[in-house]
Amino acid sequence: MTDLKAALGEAVQAAFAAEGVDAALARVTTSDRPDLADFQSNGALAAAKALKANPRELATRVGDRLAADPRLASVEVAGPGFINLKVADDALAARAAEVAADADHAGASTVDRPRKVLIDFAGPNVAKPMHVGHLRSSIIGESLKRIFRFRGDTVTGDAHFGDWGFQMGLLIVAVGDEGKADAFFAEGDGPFPDVSPVSLDDLERLYPLAAGKAKEDPAYRDRARKATAELQSGRAGYRALWAQFVAVSRTALEREFGALGVTFDLWNGESDADPVMAEMLAHLSDTGLLVEDDGAQVVHVARPGETRKKKLADGSTVEAPSPPPLLVVSSEGSAMYGTTDLATILDRRKSLDPDLILYVVDERQAEHFQQVFRAAVLAGYAEEGALEHLGFGTMNGADGKPFKTRAGGVLKLHDLISMATEKADQRLAEAELGADMPADEHADIAHKVAIAALKFADLSNARTTSYVFDLDRFTSFEGKTGPYLLYQVVRIKSLLRKAADQGAAVGPIIIAELAERDLALTLDAFDQAVTDAYERRMPHAIAEHAYRLAQSFSKFYAACPVLVAPDEATKGSRLALSKAALDQLAIALRLLGIESPERM
C-alpha cells in the first residue's frame, strides 16, 4: 500500500525524467504551506542549476506534464521554481478508504525483506530494585520491539540481566558475613537448599553496604573478587546461592515490567553466555586478538592512527589508543562487563543468528559498545553494521540533572508508577471522569492514564535528547500528553457506540470539507511516520503523528457534525473517517506501548 506522497513522488520523478533531469532530484515533501498546497517539489532549482537552465521554466514544463494526473486538483509553480501540488478530493477519499479498510496496519507499509532482529533493552540488575534510570530503556526498547514487528521483522526482545559480575561476589560475601547462608558455603557439590536464604529486601539492603565496604577496605574487595572468580569458575554452592538471588530478583522485576506493559521473549542474563566463554577466550587467543596488558588480557580495537590524549597521574599527557582496548580478563582472572557482552554476541549468533542486534542503553555507554562491537567484528562474531547501540538521553529534574527524589536519592520505578497512578486518579476526579464506574474499572483506567502519561512524555521526545520530568504536565488531559490522546480515543469510541445505537453505519468516504481533507491527509501520513520511526530507530515520529491525528480529528469533529450530518451519505462518510481515525490512533498508541480504555 503506497501513501500519497510516495505515489506522487513517482509521478514527479517521471515528469522530471521526461525533461532529461535526474529523477533523484524530484523529491516530494509535505508542503510547509498547507494553505497553498498539500505537497511540494523543489527539485527544479537544483536540476536547473545542473542543466544551466531557468528553474521556473523547468518547473513550468514539469507542472504541465503533471497537470493531466487525475489525482491532482491543481499544479502551480511558485517563486523561483517551487512546484505546489494539491490532491483531488476523489484521490483523497480513495486513499482514506484504503486506510480504513486496512485493519491490521491502518495504511502503513511493511518491509520488503524481513529480518531477524534482537533487541537488548531494560538491562536490570540482579539484587537491585529497578529505578527511574531503567525507565527510558524499558519504554524505548518495548516501543522499538513493537515497531519492528509491525513492519514485518521477526523480533526477539531480551532483558539481559546484569547477573554475573563483581556485584555477585559482593553479595555472596555480604550474605556469608551475616551468617544467612552457611549451607551454601560448604565445599563440594551439595545438595544445597532450594529455598532462598534472603529476601529482595535483604538483597537491596546488603548490596549498597557491601559496595561501600569494598571501596574502603581492600581486603573486603579482594574477598569479593575471589568470590566472583569462584562463582564464574563453577563453585557449586556459590552457583546455588546465586540462582536464588536471580529467582528472588526476577519476581520483583516481572512485577515492575508488567506494570509498565513491557514484555520479553528472553530473560537471559550475562551468565547465559558463560557456556561459550572458554571457547571464545581460546578463539581470541588462537587468533592473536587476546594479548596481555599489565597482568590483564585485552583486545586492541583502535585502528591505526586513532589516538587520544591520556592524562597521567603526574599531570603529563601521552598518546593512547582511542577507543581504549577492551578488557576481557582482569588481573584477578575474572570475566568483565565487556567479556560477557562479547560472549553474548557469540552466543546469540549460535542460538539465533540475528541479522541485526539493537542495544537500547544509556548514551553514556557509547564507548563501551564501540569497543565491544569492534572486537566482535574483528573476531568474526558479527558483520560490520549488524550491531547498533541506540543511546538515549536522561530524564532530568527541574535542575537539569538526572532525576532524583527530594531527599537526593534514586527513585524506585515502583514508587514512580505509584506516584503517576495517584496523580492520574486525581486528574480523573478533577475532570469528573469515571466517578460512577466500579472501583476495579476506575483503578484500571487510572493505571492506563498513568502509564500513558509516563510513556508519551518519554517517547514524544527524540530518543537522543534529554527531557525534564514534570508529572503535573504529563498527566494533564490538555496539551501534548498521553492522557489527552487517551481521551480522544475514548471520545471516538463513544461516538461510534452512539451511532450504532441509532442504527447508523459507516459508508463510502466523501471528501468535501477542509476539515475532512485535513483528516484524510493526516491518515495518509501514518506510513511515513512509521517508516521514519523504523529506519531512524526513533519512536517519537509515531508519537508526533498520534498527536497530529488527535488534533486533526478534534478539528474535524468540531467542524463536521457526524450524528447530525445533513444527509445519510455524509453521516456514513464521517463515521467511516471517525473509525479510520480511531483504528489508526489506537495502533499508533499500541506501537508506543500505550493501551487505551473503552471509556472514561
* pTM > 0.85: yes
* Tens of pLDDT, residues 43-74: 898 888 888 889 999 999 999 999 999 999 99
Output the pLDDT for position 462. Answer: 96
Output the pLDDT for position 425. Answer: 95
Please list, residue by residue across 315-349, b when 16 or more beta carbons sit within 10 angstroms of its beta carbon and e when fewer do.
eeeeeeebbbbbbbbbeeebbbbbbbbbbbbbbbb
C-alpha cell at 150: 509491525
pLDDT greater than 90 at residue 127: no
408 falls in which pLDDT band (50, 70, 90)? low
Domain ranges of the chain: 4-87, 413-591
Compute the distance between CA of residue 242 and CA of residue 125 in angstroms, rounded to an integer.
13
Total length of the chain: 600
For 287-365, where are the alpha helices, taking DSSP H only? Answer: 337-351
Output the pLDDT for position 309. Answer: 79
Residues of the chain with pLDDT > 90, as a percent, come to 77
Output the pLDDT for position 589. Answer: 98
Output the pLDDT for position 89. Answer: 97
Kind and range of the H or E run holding 357: strand 356-360
C-alpha cell at 227: 568470590
Identify the residue with better confidence: 235 or 22: 235
Report whether 381 contacts 351 (CB < 8 A): no
Mean pLDDT of 459-482: 95
Look at the domain 4-87 and name its fold: Gyrase A; domain 2 (3.30.1360)
- 4-87 and 413-591, same CATH topology: no
* Tens of pLDDT, residues 140-167: 999 999 999 999 999 999 999 888 888 8
Burial (Cβ within 10 Å: 0-12, 13-18, ≥19) of residue 314: exposed
1 falls in which pLDDT band (50, 70, 90)? low
Which range (30-44, 80-94, 319-333) has the least confidence? 319-333
Which range (45-59, 312-326, 510-524) has the least confidence? 312-326
Which CATH number, 1.10.730.10, 3.40.50.150, 3.40.50.300, 1.10.8.60, labels domain 413-591? 1.10.730.10
What torsion, rounded to 10 degrees, do the Cα atoms 118, 536, 481, 546 define? -100
Output the pLDDT for position 406. Answer: 62
Compute the distance between CA of residue 93 and CA of residue 96 in angstroms, rounded to an integer.
5
Structure letter (DSSP) for residue 325: P
The DSSP secondary structure of 120-150, one letter per residue, reads EE---BTTS--BGGGHHHHHHHHHHHHHHHH
The DSSP secondary structure of 75-101, one letter per residue, reads EEEETTTEEEEEE-HHHHHHHHHHHHH
Output the pLDDT for position 503. Answer: 96
C-alpha cell at 188: 563440594
| Average pLDDT of the chain, as a whole number | 93
